[in-house]
Amino acid sequence: MTSYIGTATSRVDGRAKVTGEARYAGEFKAIRLAHAAVVESAIPKGRISRIDTGAARRVAGVLDVLTHENRPRMADTDKAWKDDVAPEDGSPFRPLYDDRIMFSGQPIALVLGEDWETARYAASLVDIQYDKQDFVTDLRQQHDQAFVVEKPDKPHGDADKAFAAASVRHEAEYYIPTEHHNPMELFASTVVWDGGGKLTVYDKTQGVQNVQRYLCSVFDKAPDDLRVISPYVGGAFGAGLRPQYQVVLATLGALALRRSVRLVLTRQQMYGLGYRPATIERLALGASANGTLDALTHEAIAVTSQFEEFSRNDTGWAALLYKSTNANYVHKLARLDLPTSSDMRAPGAATGVYALECAMDELAIALKLDPVELRLRCYSDRDQNEDLPYTSKALRECYRQGAEAFGWKARKAEPRSMRDGSDLVGWGMATGVWEALQMPMAVRIVLGANGHAEVFCAASDIGTGTYTIMAQVAADALGLPIDNITIRLGDSTLPQAPVEGGSWMAASTAHAIAATAEEIRGELLALAKRIKDSPLADARPEDVALADGRLVSKLDASRAISIADAMRSGAIERIEKEKTNTFAEDKKHARNTHSAVFAEVKVDEQLGVIRVTRVVSAVAAGRILNAKTAHSQIMGSVVWGIGMALHEETVFDHRFGRIMNANIAEYHVPVNADVHDIKVIFVDEPDDLVNPMGIKGLGEIGIVGVAAAIANAVYHATGKRIRDLPITLDKVMR
């Protein structure tokens, strides 16, 4: 029997998605469904002095207007409002809680109507008076008020002194603007009133159980009275890790009306949710003439809200990649009158490694070294934060295979030295690094005598292909054709799963399936042994495998019993097993994924128009479960990296504290014309230390380093070093 793991299996949910059979949170139906519309704050900071809902209430078809003054009860402690992934410090946002305004776009009233058009119109009639307060939304203005946050990276030596003494130095500041996730699917919740206070909540989320616990806590519900379902998610990229305000408001509406309520945010309102924080990064690199690092300082100042401290690690990545005798890391946060920043694909790394890898490029130029060569000279075989070796690190191979596929050898070092007609040609490269995380997770498998199996888990598939890789792993573990496997996900009543994030889903689900399948196999063996003259009478559990619908001895393939026969012997129709898999703790190794990204840009010399004509991304991420979905993850990441380099920026008018491009016509992401040739290489990286199946995950590694490779290529093409993203044509022309 052929194995499914590693093959380019097409998405098992592909048909459901393209035919519209796959339902999303805002599409579930309910009888007597009411529709909700949000009224947002026009100011970034202050108090609501008066809120007049009279005109809105008088609109025919309006059922109620909820504000902080008349809403149903919600929890009143920070603890109750903390979801599983909330920042440790701070006071989570509570929509419609009181009269305080903490950011522009904050929801301050909820209009409930018989239909959405009515609710939306009535929302425009809610009249609000504010007591305005001074505010700040500009990171550069709040720069000096930033405070230090603890990070795991450990400074060593005296980086300042070593930098001063270094023979070759590079020091610069880099800037990444605020970016928003913009998943295709709008944030939406349909809360179905099941009667007797019971609710079924269809939500767009990366973690149904997180949302379920959170809502039960906020609304003081018993766990059995509230179920959260999210079978499909149209992209989330981190925006759906924390419960978003629409699920609170839709629930609030259902409780107030005692009927079902749907709330779909508008695209514009989605800019009132989390975002990748604007970040200022300072790098100071001191090297000896032979290209080894004596001093490495990385400082980051990122944005958070006034009420919570969200931060990820921007500064620690250098210690994973490069040896330096002295190193210093400082991570700061600046508070602005904005919503709390949030995770967005490779949080911390996408921004921190952008700066680090541009700085390394600049250092290579100062040293007159090839950028790849510099990275090899500084290559670290150990995680210097913890001083640990890696479970595996095929990064050298990424550099080698990536460079070869790209044709890096032919690069001329001098900027502005390569041309294609009137275009300047630039070649740049960068390194990517991310974590290989894994989480405890439970899976239930129900195997029928007919050789069909259902696999249950509360995990979400946010579009990455989780359904598909789970079906592959289950098919292999149970020895069944993939068509006989059904995967059920995204329901809080299913076996425990963490939120879908951190690239930990592939490793976690695969091992949980394997662990549960082992129990199934054990049970089948026990049944098989009961058969008279059983050929497996003496077989030990470790000596049998499931293949082609049979239990087969690994020692003698002629000794086998079909699943159907085994079940018949026990007079049962099905076997059901649930097991929680946990990973053995290993404090002796660092676990990471790596990549080398090579980019070619062509820049119109006169007009400054930049095209990213080629990208090669060579990734080392352990065992690749599905060549096709894995390729899509990396390709999508590269496209996003192009956007990060050239297009994406949330534009604020700091006089109003408002976002001025809160829509996807004016918030630019790459379109087809901006995307050319992208080649993805998976470097072989066998790893039996990271976990038994050698899986590392690759949802995030693909974006890390891409923007730096492009920025470095733009420098190589033009001789202009642009450190503030995005690199728009005016910056190149200047």
Partner 1 sequence: MIPFHYARANDVADAVRMISADPAAKFIAGGTNLVDLMKENVERPSRLIDISRLPLDTIEPTADGGLRIGALVPNSDLAYHPLVEQRYPLLASAILAGASAQLRNMASTGGNLLQRTRCAYFYDTVTPCNKREPGSGCSAIGGINRIHAILGTSENCIATHPSDMCVALAALDARVRVTGPAGERAMAFDDFHRLPGDTPQTDTNLLPDEIVTAIELPALGFADNYSYLKIRDRLSYAFALVSIAAALELEGGAIKQARLALGGVAHKPWRNTAAEAALRGQRADQASFSRAADILLRDAKGYEHNAFKIELARRGIIRTLTQAAQATPQSQYDKKIR
**Binding positions for partner 1, rule: CB under 8 A:** 42, 117, 120-121, 124, 423, 602, 604, 606-609, 611, 646-647, 651, 653, 655-656, 658, 660-661, 665-666, 668, 670-674, 676, 728-730, 733-734
295: helix, coil or strand?
strand
Choose among 666, 664, 656: nearest CA to 41: 656
Choose among 277, 280, 331: nearest CA to 305: 277
Q: How far is the CB of 56 from partner 1 (least distance, A)?
A: 13
Q: Which letter, b or e, does each residue of 671-696 get, where b requires 16 or more Cβ atoms within 10 Å of its Cβ?
A: eeebbeebbbbbbebebeebbebbbb
Residue 585 vs 730, nearer CB to partner 1: 730
Residue 632 vs 663, nearer CB to partner 1: 663
Half-sphere exposure of 244 (CA within 13 A, CB side): 31
Q: How far is the CB of 483 from partner 1 (least distance, A)?
A: 36
Residue 409 vs 655, nearer CB to partner 1: 655
- The one catalytic residue in 281, 357, 649, 700 is 700
Report residue 170 as tokens. Answer: 């590079």
Q: How far is the CB of 395 from partner 1 (least distance, A)?
A: 32
Q: How far is the CB of 341 from partner 1 (least distance, A)?
A: 21
Q: How far is the CB of 119 from partner 1 (least distance, A)?
A: 11
Rounded to 5 degrees, φ, ψ at 242 are -95, 150
Angle separating helix axes 706-718 and 349-367, nearest 10 degrees: 30
Q: How far is the CB of 606 from partner 1 (least distance, A)?
A: 5
| Helix, strand, coil percentages in the chain from 3-state DSSP, rounded to 5 | 30, 30, 45
- Rounded CA gap, 250 and 723, in Å? 43
Q: Which helix (H) or strand (E) holds 40?
A: strand 34-40
Q: How far is the CB of 61 from partner 1 (least distance, A)?
A: 10
Q: How far is the CB of 344 from partner 1 (least distance, A)?
A: 20
Residue 121 vs 175, nearer CB to partner 1: 121
Q: How far is the CB of 27 from partner 1 (least distance, A)?
A: 20
The strand ranges marked E within 93-197 are 100-101, 107-113, 127-132, 147-148, 168-176, 188-195
Any residues with CB less than 8 A from the CB of 617 and at least 6 apart, and which? 402, 432, 595, 596, 597, 598, 634, 637, 638, 678, 679, 680, 681, 702, 706
Q: Which helix (H) or strand (E) holds 467?
A: helix 466-478
Q: Mark out the alpha helices in 626-700 (DSSP H runs).
A: 627-646
- Cα-atom radius of gyration of the chain, to the nearest Å? 27
Residue 403 vs 646, nearer CB to partner 1: 646
Q: How far is the CB of 115 from partner 1 (least distance, A)?
A: 12
Torsion angle (degrees, nearest 10) of CA 361, 163, 350, 434: 100
DSSP state of 449: T
End-to-end CA distance of the chain: 62
CB 616 within 8 A of CB 405: yes
**What DSSP letter does each residue of 570-592 carry, written as one string?**
TT-SEEEEEEEE-PPP-TT-B-E
Residue 377 vs 658, nearer CB to partner 1: 658
- Rounded CA gap, 638 and 700, in Å? 10
Instruction: Evaluate the omega torsion of the peptide bond into residue 726 and state whether it is cis, within 30 degrees of 0.
Output: yes
700 catalytic per annotation: yes
- Rounded CA gap, 179 and 271, in Å? 10
Q: How far is the CB of 651 from partner 1 (least distance, A)?
A: 6
For residue 488, what are the CA distances in angstroms to 22, 440, 477? Answer: 13, 18, 17
Q: How far is the CB of 726 from partner 1 (least distance, A)?
A: 8
- Rounded CA gap, 647 and 670, in Å? 7
Residue 37 vs 471, nearer CB to partner 1: 37
- Rounded CA gap, 228 and 102, in Å? 28
721, burial (CB in 10 Å: exposed 0-12, middle 13-18, buried 19+): middle
DSSP state of 152: S
Longest Cα pair distance anywhere in the chain, in angstroms? 86
Q: Which helix (H) or strand (E) holds 469?
A: helix 466-478
Choose among 364, 399, 467: nearest CA to 616: 399
Site of tokens 């352990």? 622
What strands, in cross-sheet order, belong to the sheet with 453-456?
485-488, 453-456, 441-448, 574-581
Active site residues per annotation? 700
